[in-house]
Structure 1
Amino acid sequence: MAQKQERPGDGNWAGRMFGSLQEAYDRLRAIVDSSYDGIYITDGRAVTLWVNRAYEEITGLRADEVVGRSMWDLERDEIISKSGTLLALAQRAPVTLEQVFRTGRHALISSTPAFNDQGEIVLVVTNVRDMTELRELQEKYRQTAALTERYQSEAEYVRKQVLASADLIVADTRMLALLEQVKRVAALDATVLLLGETGVGKEKIAKYIYKNSARKDERFLTINCGAISPTLIESELFGYERGAFTGANREGKMGLFEVADKGTVFLDEIGELPLEMQVRLLRVLQEQTVQRVGGTRDIPISVRVIAATNRDLEAMVREKTFREDLFYRLNVVPIRIPPLRERQADIPAFVEHFLAHFNQKYDTHKEFARDAVRAMLAYEWPGNVRELKNVVERAVILSGGQVIRPEDLPFCPAWSPGLFAPEPGETVDLKALTEQFEARFIRAAYETHGSIRKAAASLSMDPATFLRKKKKYETDP
C-alpha cells in the first residue's frame, strides 16, 4: 500500500516543520526581520503589536518605544507625523502616504487592513519603504536639469564673448563647443589640466579660465616648470627662510605660491617638474599650505591651480617618471585642446587676425592670395597656432609684393611651379606630383566647406568630378 504524501496544508507537515508554536513564531520573526523594508503591525484597535529591525533603522524608533502603544497616542505625542494605520482603519481600505522620520529619512508608507470572517479588522500591516536615496536622486536630477537649462542659455553668450575677445580667435565649431565647456569649468574653482600639442594655445585657455573665474580680480602667475633651474625650483615655488642656504636673502623670500595667494597659478609644462618637487606640489594641492625651504611652519594659502602639458602623463605614470597620486590630483578636469589641423575653420580667422596685427606693426598693407590661404589649409601645422603666427609674420616681412603668394610661405616651395624645375639629368614623376597636390587641395577643401558642392565650387570644379577624385584619393594607398 502506497504511503500517503504529506502536503504543506496537513497538520502533520506543520508540526514536523516548526515543532511548536514558539518555533513557528521565531521563524516568522526571523523572516520578517530579514526584510529590507520596515514592517509595522497593529491590531484592529490600532495598538502596536510588532515592528521589525528595518523599521527601527529607517525611523530611528526602537521597538520598546512603540510596541503596546496606541497609534492615537504616538500621533498625539508627535512620535510619528501621520499614521497610515489610523487612516486604513477609518477607510477600511489600504492607504499609501509619504512620511518623514526624525532620522531625516523619507519613506513611502502602505497600510493594509486584514479582516476576519465577520468582516472585522483584526490586523493592520504597514510596509515602510525607504525612499531617501530616490528623493536625493530626484533632487540631483532637478539641479542638473536647472544647470543644463542655464548652460544652454549661456551658450550664445559664450560664443559672442569668445569672438569678441582680443585674446582668443575662434571660428571652428569644435573649439566653440570646447570653450563653452571651459566657461562652465572656470566658475567652479576646480583644478584643471590642459592637454595638447605645443603651440595650440594652452596659456590662452588658462587665462580665459582665470578671467571668467571668481578669482579674476586676484593675481595670475605663470610658472614654466621646464624653464626654472632644478637647483632653484624649490626655493622659487615655495620660498625660503633667512639663512636657509648660502647666498640666501637675509630676510628670506616668499615663494610664487605665496605671492599668488587667493589667485591662480598656471603651471605650464607640468610634465617637466622633477619627481622630488612633485611631492611638494601634491602637498600644496591637498592641504593648501606651503612650507618654505629651511622652515618648519605651514603657511596657509588659497590658490587655484591650472596645469598644462604637451606630454602623455599617463605614459609617464607607467614609466615612473610622474607620480600617480599627483596625476590624479591634477586630472580633476582634463581638457584636451585640439591641434590646428583638426580645427581648420580657425586657420583663416587666425591668418586675418595676425595679418592685421603685423600690417600695423610694420606699417604695411599686404594681403594673402587665395592660393596661399589654400596652401595654409592643406599644411599640417606641427607647431600649431604659434607656428602659424610666425609664418604670417615672416611672410609679411619677406614677401616682395603687396600680395603674399604660396612661394612666400616657408613650407611651400612645392606650391610654386617656378621652384620645381628639375635639375639637369633629374627625372620627375610629374603625374604623381600633380596627383599629390590635387589630393591635398581636395581634402583641404572638403574639410573646410563640409559639402561636396561648396568644396568643388571653391576649386572651380564640377561636383561630380570632385566626388570622383575625392573617392579615388581616399582609396589610393
Structure 2
Amino acid sequence: MTDLVKRKVISDSGSLIVIRKKTPVTLHQQFRTGKEALVTSSPIFDSTGKLIMVVTNVRDLTEIFSLKDAVQRKTAALERLRLELAHLQETVIKDELVMKDEAALSALLLANRVSPMDTTVLLLGETGVGKEVLAHYIYQNSRRSHGSFIKVNCGAIPESLIESELFGYESGAFTGANRNGKIGLFELANKGTLFLDEIGELPKAMQVKLLRALQEQEIMRVGGTKPIQINTRIIAATNRNLKDMVKQGKFREDLYYRLTVFPISLPPLRQRPKDIIPLAESFLTKLNQKYSFQKHFSPYSCRVLQEYAWPGNIRELKNIVERAIIISSEDEIRPEDLHIIQAPKAPLPLREESPAPTLHPHVSSSSTALSELPANLTRLLAAQEYAYLQKAYEQTHTVREAAKLLHMTPSKFVRRRKRCQELLQLP
C-alpha cells in the first residue's frame, strides 16, 4: 500500500492510516485511472490489544459522483433558464430607453462605445434615473447578448447569505444547505453579464472576494476547495458616492479602481428637461394599451410635469402617470389629477382675443360707448376668478388647502376652476 501511494496509483491508504492511528478511518480515495471510492478501514486487535489485521471496505463511487455532477449540471441549467425567463418577462414590460436630452444622450454615447467590449462598467446616478435600463441596453448591444443577463441587488440580500448567493456552495457547506450544493450567480452568468446593482451596499468582507473574481476571473464556492474559472462580464451600479466611501474606509480602494474602469454618470431627471414629456407620454401609451384607455395630457398638465423638480426621478414620474390615469375621470388628464406637490411658477397666459378695457368708477353704463365695454363680460369675470383660484393653488400647492383658503369645498373649487378653463378655452 505504501508503494501504491508513492507511485500515486491511489491518493491515500486507509490501511496505513489505521496502522498509524489504531482507530477506524473513512476517506475519499482517488485512483490514477480516474475512479473514485469511499474507503472505510477498521483495526482488528488480539486479546492483548495488539493490531493483527486491518479490514477495509471499498465502495466504488465513480458512477455516483458522475450522476451527482450530471444532476448539478441539470440543476444549474434549469436555474439559469428560470432566471433568464424571469428576466425576459421583465423585459416585455420594461420601459423603453427614452433619451432625447443632450445630458442623457452623452451618457448613451458612452454606453454605445463600451457595449461591444468586455470592460467592467460602473453606472452612477441617483435612485430612479434608469441605471438598470441602461445596463440592459449595454447587454443587448454587447457580444454577450446571446448569454444570460443576471441581476442581483447587493443591498437586498442578507449579509450572511450574500457569499453563497454570489459564489454558490458545496454539499454540506453549512447547516440547512442543499445536500446537492448550489450554483452561484457568477456561474449562472457565465459567458453572459452579471449586473450588480447597489454595489455600494456590498459588505466589506465580500469586497475582497469580488475583487478576486474581477481580477482572476475565478471564484470559490462556500465549502469548496477548488477554484472555478468563470467568463462573466460585470456591470455595477450605485447611487452612492464611492469615492467618499473609500475616504471613510467603507469601500475598498483597490475594488473602487477596479470598478471604475469605465464609469458612466446618468444625470437626474431635473437636469434632463427634454426627456420629461417623452417619458411621460411613453408611460401613458403603455398604460392606455394595458387598460384600453385613450387618455392624454392637457397642455397645462405638461407644463406642470415640466416644471416639477422630480426628486424621485423616472420612477416617480412613472408612478405619478399611473396614478393620474386612474384618478382622472375624463380622457384629458388635468393638473389636479397629477397630485404633484410643486405647482408651476405661473398660470398659462389667457387667450383673450383683445385686452378688455377697465371701466372708470365715475362713468355710468348709460353714458359709456359700447366700444369701451368689455367684448365678453363673462370671459372677463372668468379670467378674474381663474386668476384667484390659481393664486390660491400656487400658495397652498393642494386643492384642499386652496379651497379652504377661499372658503369653499374642494369639489366646488375644482368645478369652478374647470368652468373657468372651459370659458377661457384653457387646457
Both proteins in one fold, TM over 0.5: yes
Tell me the residue number matched to 1:385: 314
**Equivalent in 190, 208, 214 of residue 279 of structure 1:** 208
* Partner Cα separation in structure 2 for residue 360 and residue 410 of structure 1: 23
Note if contact 2:171-2:177 (Cα within 8 Å) is conserved in structure 1: yes
Tell me the residue number matched to 1:243: 172
Tell me the residue number matched to 1:266: 195
Superposed counterparts of 1:137-148, under 5 Å: none
Superposed counterparts of 1:103-122, under 5 Å: none
TM-superposed CA distance for 1:179, in Å, is: 1.1
* Partner Cα separation in structure 1 for residue 257 and residue 269 of structure 2: 28
**Equivalent in 328, 338, 344 of residue 273 of structure 2:** 344
Note if contact 2:308-2:343 (Cα within 8 Å) is conserved in structure 1: no
Structure 2 residue 299 is the aligned partner of structure 1 residue 367? no
Superposed counterparts of 1:409-428, under 5 Å: 409-412=338-341, 414=343, 417=390, 419=399, 420-423=402-405
Tell me the residue number matched to 1:330: 259
Tell me the residue number matched to 1:217: 146
TM-superposed CA distance for 1:233, in Å, is: 0.7
TM-superposed CA distance for 1:403, in Å, is: 1.1
Structure 1 pair 204–424 and aligned structure 2 pair: CA distance change class (3 A)? closer
Superposed counterparts of 1:46-65, under 5 Å: none
**Equivalent in 322, 335, 340 of residue 406 of structure 1:** 335
Structure 2 residue 132 is the aligned partner of structure 1 residue 203? yes
* Partner Cα separation in structure 2 for residue 288 and residue 395 of structure 1: 48
Structure 1 pair 374–244 and aligned structure 2 pair: CA distance change class (3 A)? same
**Equivalent in 321, 326, 344 of residue 250 of structure 2:** 321
Note if contact 1:271-1:311 (Cα within 8 Å) is conserved in structure 2: yes
Structure 1 pair 227–262 and aligned structure 2 pair: CA distance change class (3 A)? same
3-state secondary structure, aligned to 2:122: strand
Percentage of matched positions with identical amino acids: 57
Note if contact 1:240-1:294 (Cα within 8 Å) is conserved in structure 2: yes
3-state secondary structure, aligned to 1:189: coil
TM-superposed CA distance for 1:424, in Å, is: 8.0
Residue 284 of structure 1 aligns to which amino acid in structure 2? A
Deviations 1:314-333 (A, max 9, x none): 11111111111111100100
Tell me the residue number matched to 1:429: none
Deviations 1:115-174 (A, max 9, x none): xxxxxxxxxxxxxxxxxxxxxxxxxxxxxxxxxxxxxxxxxxxxxxxxxx9721122123
Superposed counterparts of 1:47-196, under 5 Å: 167-196=96-125
Structure 2 residue 238 is the aligned partner of structure 1 residue 312? no
3-state secondary structure, aligned to 2:273: coil
The TM-score normalised by the length of structure 1 is 0.53
Note if contact 1:406-1:412 (Cα within 8 Å) is conserved in structure 2: no
* Partner Cα separation in structure 2 for residue 298 and residue 394 of structure 1: 50
Note if contact 1:407-1:413 (Cα within 8 Å) is conserved in structure 2: no
3-state secondary structure, aligned to 1:341: helix
3-state secondary structure, aligned to 1:184: helix
Tell me the residue number matched to 2:162: 233
* Partner Cα separation in structure 1 for residue 313 and residue 234 of structure 2: 25
TM-superposed CA distance for 1:246, in Å, is: 0.8
* Partner Cα separation in structure 1 for residue 248 and residue 342 of structure 2: 41
Deviations 1:292-326 (A, max 9, x none): 00111110001110000000111111111111111
Structure 1 pair 403–236 and aligned structure 2 pair: CA distance change class (3 A)? same
* Partner Cα separation in structure 2 for residue 310 and residue 285 of structure 1: 21
How many residue pairs get matched?
Answer: 262
Deviations 1:321-373 (A, max 9, x none): 11111111001001000011111101111111111111111221111111111
Structure 2 residue 225 is the aligned partner of structure 1 residue 296? yes
Note if contact 2:153-2:197 (Cα within 8 Å) is conserved in structure 1: yes
Structure with the greater alpha carbon radius of gyration: 1
* Partner Cα separation in structure 2 for residue 300 and residue 344 of structure 1: 46
TM-superposed CA distance for 1:209, in Å, is: 0.7
* Partner Cα separation in structure 2 for residue 167 and residue 239 of structure 1: 33
3-state secondary structure, aligned to 1:382: coil
* Partner Cα separation in structure 1 for residue 109 and residue 328 of structure 2: 38
Residue 326 of structure 1 aligns to which amino acid in structure 2? L
TM-superposed CA distance for 1:177, in Å, is: 2.8
TM-superposed CA distance for 1:423, in Å, is: 3.8
Task: With a CA cutoff of 8 Å and minimum separation of 6, indicate the structure with the bigger relative contact order.
Answer: 2
Structure 2 residue 326 is the aligned partner of structure 1 residue 376? no
Cα-Cα RMSD: 1.9
Q: Which runs of 5+ in 2 are unaligned?
A: 1-93, 345-388, 394-398, 408-425
The TM-score normalised by the length of structure 2 is 0.59
3-state secondary structure, aligned to 1:223: strand
Structure 1 pair 197–413 and aligned structure 2 pair: CA distance change class (3 A)? closer
* Partner Cα separation in structure 1 for residue 95 and residue 319 of structure 2: 18
